[in-house]
A and B are shown apart, each in its own frame.
Chain A
């Protein structure tokens, strides 16, 4: 079945899901212990999880929003945020695509998104005939045969409580930071993945999720456990911009790679970035971290083009000997977007290795910062890191910053760092235009060339989309 057919089929099922939604209450804005109790009760959570949430909440109350990132935004009024509103009624949404912001539609058009999926993304309530031979169900069957567990975390709490309880919060502790603590207290939903020992997950965990994700809300929580010797590739996000009325997004992702396991986690993030004047847009504060045990490997690949403010550092704790951490990132900012993103590679085990390839592209009046920490602990004998950090500027009103932190406490560890900053020059554009390319095509070609090293890490299907996405995101950046 072609990708398009799959997407199509899933979107139909998904739309149908909306129709059958039971409306339920939306809590008034504000956060206190009662709100957390309410959330937990709605989800019929076990007592331990409620306690877990409350403990996080109590910690959070004594924490302050971090101020060190190179981003500026007006204070977020959490008293104005409603922390429970699920499942969301589609009644208030647009009735048809005619009511949807034409700019958004134009973008879907350019990305070549099928009409059905457009409606789903824009939140249109559609009457679709339920497709009983659901692709999602087929996927689930295949995964179940392999023993893979892949379900909403809210479901896993009931179906696999021992696994959730054993690992939840072990990678990103409840009180790790302000946003992680907030997430721990109020997380809405997210994905749970468990790959049994020695199993290679038979498919990319993507297509199904891609559609499902729209429901997971603003405080997403994902937990992926790859048991010994297993392999999994997980895709998060969507190239299409999603309509979302929640301005604040604070997700937590925890990865556990047990001995000899491999986890590849790829993200395409394209939340609404705000308009060309810098109004609106999502604040995206994410904590993503993985623990790599002996001989295991964790690889983060991200393409970040959306959100008004991005604050995100997918990290690896290389605990086991010979474990490997990788971070491949493209972060593009245009107009008034701000991104402060990078990674942390914490080398604890012997002969641990990490690679960081970061490509920052700034256009318009945006600001793009790479912030990375490489820490070689005293026990990390023979550890190696290679960091390459390249910035590309388009125009002269944008900014790129690089903040590399290196802490080496083992004399045998080797840390290499390379950084470049370049500009799309007028002469390059002229050459392209003289050969018949328009300026936008020329810029996107140059930018794609700049990102090649990262794109080749993406699963095929995503790589093509990512290229197109950059092109659309850069519109209006020249000329």
Chain B
């Protein structure tokens, strides 16, 4: 589904990703761990096509298409979803309007008409319940004045409504209380299916107790330096990253 080979990328002239390779097949859940500043969020942004991020070498294909040739919104419409580590606010635009526009954009891609307002509202309310957000949040500005945890749930809400093929979750578990963590886990688990995959960036083993990954990778210095199964996460929990960084150096 996603094949990344020897990816090099820079931001504002600084090289951040330095030869990263990663293959994700349908149905799989990959966890990416790694020290602060190692390039985890950068990977997500490069795949999503954030302006200002330049790919200098390597390749990335998604569902058989050359990802790097596509516009940001085209990647999204293909089914690539990024839950942001730091969701931004859009004051004045209601969450509902925003979500409907996003859903309609996906439908347009499939040649479908915009979803009717009543059906959409029903879906939105149900999914609010699933992520334990009061439906009143639908009326507020996008992320406007949301608490850290509310913003994360709102990201999850968007993912549930958009039903992407590949969900990249950048520290969606950070800053969540233990109940919210379960909410996220439930949300992701409910979406797991044979034709959908997840890449979860996290710092905490505890998330992986709830969402069992097929693979765990360690990203350090802009590359994947170690891959393993879920036991790797336990090992990291016990030993930290220093030993790996030493090995790489």
Please pick, from B52, B84, B94, B109, the residue contacting A436 in the complex, using a CB distance under 8 A. B109
> Nearest residue in A to B73 (C-beta to C-beta)?
A433
On whether the beta carbons of A435 and B93 are closer than 8 Å, the reply is no
Question: Is B240 located at the chain interface by the 8 A CB criterion?
Answer: no
Of B50, B93, B94, the contact of A430 (CB 8 Å cutoff): B50
A243 interface contact, C-beta 8 A = no
Contacts of A433 in B (CB 8 A): 49, 71-73, 76
Complex contact B105–A449 (CB within 8 A): no
Q: How far is the CB of B88 from chain A (nearest CB, A)?
A: 5
Stretch of A107-115, A131-139, A159-167, A438-446 at the chain-chain interface: A438-446
Residue interface mask B81-117, A partner, CB < 8 A = 1: 1101001101111100110011001100100000000
A436 lies within 8 A of B106 (CB): yes
CA separation between A438 and B84, bound complex, in Å? 18
Instruction: State which of A427, A438, A446 has its C-beta within 8 Å of the C-beta of B93.
Output: A446
CA distance A446 to B93 in the complex (A): 6
Say whether B92 contacts A449, CB under 8 Å: yes
Q: Does residue A401 face the partner (Cβ distance < 8 Å to B)? A: no
Q: CB of A208 within 8 A of chain B?
A: no
Near A by CB (< 8 A), chain B positions 38-88 give 48-52, 71-73, 76-77, 81-82, 84, 87-88
Instruction: Number of B interface residues at 8 Å Cβ cutoff, please give it.
Output: 31
Closest Cβ of chain B to A477, distance in Å, is: 16
Q: Nearest Cβ in chain B — how far from A242, in angstroms?
A: 30
**What residues of chain A lie closer than 8 Å to B97, measured between beta carbons?**
445, 449
B93 touches A437 (CB 8 A): no
B202 at the interface (CB under 8 A from A): no
Q: Chain A contacts of B77 at CB under 8 A?
A: 436
Contact partner of A437 (CB less than 8 A), chosen from B48, B82, B84, B101, is B101
Instruction: Give the chain B neighbours of A427 by CB distance below 8 A.
Output: 88
Kindly list chain B residues whose C-beta atoms are within 8 Å of the C-beta of A439. Answer: 73
Is residue A42 within 8 Å, beta carbon to beta carbon, of the partner chain? no
Nearest CB to that of B82 among chain A residues? A434
- Chain A positions within 8 Å of B51 at CB level: 426, 430
Q: Is the CB of B50 within 8 A of A445?
A: no
| Contact of B26 with A by CB under 8 A | no
Task: State whether the Cβ of B172 lies closer than 8 Å to any Cβ in chain A.
Answer: no
Please classify the interface of chain A as helix (H, G, I), strand (E, B), loop, or mixed, using the class held by over half of its residues.
Answer: helix
* A residues 133-173 in Cβ contact with B at 8 Å: none
Is the CB–CB distance between B76 and A434 below 8 Å? yes
The answer, yes or no, to whether A419 is at the interface (CB within 8 Å) is no
Chain B CB within 8 A of A428 CB: yes
**Is A425 on the interface with B (CB-CB < 8 A)?**
yes
CA gap between A434 and B155 in the complex, in Å: 12
Contacts of A431 in B (CB 8 A): 84, 87-88, 90, 142
Determine whether B201 belongs to the interface, using a CB cutoff of 8 Å to chain A: no
Which partner residue on chain A sits nearest B75 by CB separation? A434
Q: Check if B128 is an interface residue, CB within 8 A of chain A.
A: no
Q: Are B50 and A436 in contact (CB under 8 A)?
A: no
A452 within 8 A of B: yes
The closest CB in chain A to the CB of B105 belongs to A436
A425→B93 CA distance, assembly (Å): 14
B76 CB contacts on chain A under 8 angstroms: 433-436
B162 at the interface (CB under 8 A from A): yes
Chain A residues in 8 Å Cβ range of B52: 426
Q: How far is the CB of B72 from chain A (nearest CB, A)?
A: 4
Complex Cα distance, B93 from A97, in Å, reads: 38
> Do A449 and B73 have beta carbons less than 8 Å apart?
no
Contacts of A437 in B (CB 8 A): 73, 101-102, 105
Q: What's the nearest-Cβ distance from chain A to residue B84, in Å?
A: 7
Known: A434-B76, A434-B82. A445 touches B101 (CB 8 A): yes
B141 at the interface (CB under 8 A from A): yes
CA distance A355 to B81 in the complex (A): 44
Task: Say if the beta carbon of B158 comes within 8 Å of chain A.
Answer: yes
Closest to B161 in A: A435
A230 to chain B, nearest CB (A): 36
Name 28 A/B residue pairs within 8 A (Cβ), A-sorted: A425-B88, A430-B51, A430-B72, A430-B88, A431-B90, A431-B142, A432-B90, A434-B73, A434-B81, A434-B82, A435-B76, A435-B101, A435-B105, A435-B158, A436-B73, A436-B76, A436-B102, A436-B109, A436-B162, A437-B101, A437-B102, A439-B73, A441-B101, A446-B90, A446-B93, A449-B90, A449-B93, A450-B92
The 3 nearest A-B residue pairs measured at CB: A449-B92, A436-B105, A449-B93
